Structures are given as C-alpha cells and as structure tokens.
Amino acid sequence: MATTTEEPLKHHPKRSRRAATASLVALLAYLAAAYVAAPEFWWIHDGRLRGEDMRTTTTDGIPGDPINVGLVGVRNDVLQAFAAAGWRPADAITLKTSIEIGLSVVLHEPDPDAPVSTLVYDGRRQDLAFEKPVGDSADQRHHVRLWQTDPIAPGAQGPLWLAAASFDRGVGVSHDTGQITHHIGPDLDAERDFVVSNLSEDGWVRSTYEIEGAGATKTGRNGGGDPYFTDGKVLVGVLGKPAE
C-alpha cells in the first residue's frame, strides 16, 4: 500500500515581512491618531475653553485638572513637608522612567518615584510634583503638581504654591485621544483634603483657609476625559517648621 509523507511547513519570508510591515504601519497610525490628530480635533470639536484662570491644561492645550490646593512657604519647606508625610518627588519623563513605570504596572512592582504627566498652568509646566503610592505598583497613587506664584499678601512667609491634586485609580487609555494614561478618581475635593491633612499630621501646616478656584461642577472632565466633581474651592495650607 502506498504511503504519503507530509511536507514540512515552509517558512515564507515575504509573508513574514508583510506581517511585520502591517504591524508597524498600524502602530504608526495609532501614534499619529492618538498623539497628533486627536488632541487637535478634541478642542475644535468639543468647544470647551482651553483652560484659564484656575484650570491647568495638557501640553496639547486640552483643559486638565483644576487647581484645588495651595501651600504658603519657601521651596525648602514644601520639600520637607512632603518628605515628612511620605511623599516622593516624581521623576522626569524619560525613556528609562517610562519603561520603569510600565513594568511597575504590568508586574505589580514598586516604583515610588514614577513620573507624572506634564500639565501647564500660567504658561509653564509644573515646578514640583510629588506622589504617594497606594499598593505595590504605580497603578494607583496620590499625586500633586505644584506651581510657584507670587506671595499672596505683604508679610506672607514665602510664596503661594498653587497645586492640582488628584488620585490615580488605574492605567488605561484616554477617553478623548486614545493615549496611554492614568485615570483619576472623580472626587477631587477628597484628594484636596487628603493632601492638606496628610501634611498636617507631622505638624507642617500651621493654618488653613479657602480661596475661590475654578468653580463648582458635577460634570467636569480632565485632559484624559475622566469625569470629576468639585465644589471649586482651593484649600490653602500655611507651612511652617513643626515645633521641637
């Protein structure tokens, strides 16, 4: 009886090259759509303001997190207050730190100095940024970005630092642009209160008061399209070295 033998599977270099090319084209198309086209289309189509007064913007000009925290004090007091409360300065965004935060999220490994995205206020990027991880990775964390401004009154003990505080609840893609980003928790007032109360625990906050912020809203959306609500107030903490 005749027997047949199966031919070994053959490798097709042209087919592999076509698949690799198609994958590269798809990746480039995603990057162009998410990081170039979508931000421009977003603000034209949406019609919302690009963020003024007490509202930050992304580097693409999309309205970001509102200002909700203020601190009065010299730079060294700000650094020491956050350090005493267990916050870490965020690393600058580089290829190395971007890979590290990605591995932290995927592998559930710590990255307490993970970078935060850049926001713009008063025409410039944040002067300082701090974070306080929750859990074993950079997937969830408290974080705050700060901008130094002028003293708010004669005799003030240092300049006023205006800040945008929010809680990162997980990593995903932007609802507006498709970019990879952290999604924030909706209750910005709770995060505002957490930051100031956390700094108060070690005696760094001498007093607090409120000023008007971006205004109350129940339907806010940040630069990643995440919904939030707030009473629109800025909680200001006056810093000073704890008593010995």
pLDDT of residue 25: 58
Using one digit for the tens of pLDDT, what is the confidence trace for 88-143?
998 887 788 767 666 766 667 666 778 888 999 999 999 999 999 887 766 788 99
Using one digit for the tens of pLDDT, what is the confidence trace for 196-233?
999 999 999 999 999 999 999 999 998 778 899 999 99
The yes-or-no verdict on residue 24 having pLDDT over 70 is no
User: Quick one: CA torsion of 167, 114, 67, 31, rounded to 10 degrees?
Assistant: -90
Q: For tokens 């490994």, what's the residue?
A: 109
Using one digit for the tens of pLDDT, what is the confidence trace for 134-166?
877 667 889 999 999 976 656 667 899 999 999
CA angle 209, 215, 217 (to 5 degrees): 120
Cα–Cα distance, 175 to 69 (Å, whole number)? 26
0.85 surpassed by pTM? no
Collapsing DSSP to helix, strand or coil, 86 comes out as coil
Amino acid symbol at 171: V
Higher-pLDDT residue of 177, 237: 237
Cα–Cα distance, 188 to 67 (Å, whole number)? 10
Contact 171, 135 (CB under 8 A): no
Cα–Cα distance, 188 to 194 (Å, whole number)? 10
Axis crossing angle, helix 75-84 with helix 188-200, rounded to the nearest 10: 90
Amino acid symbol at 107: L
Cα–Cα distance, 146 to 125 (Å, whole number)? 9
Cα–Cα distance, 191 to 197 (Å, whole number)? 10
Collapsing DSSP to helix, strand or coil, 46 comes out as helix
Residue 29: which residues within 8 A CB-CB, separation 6 or more?
A: none
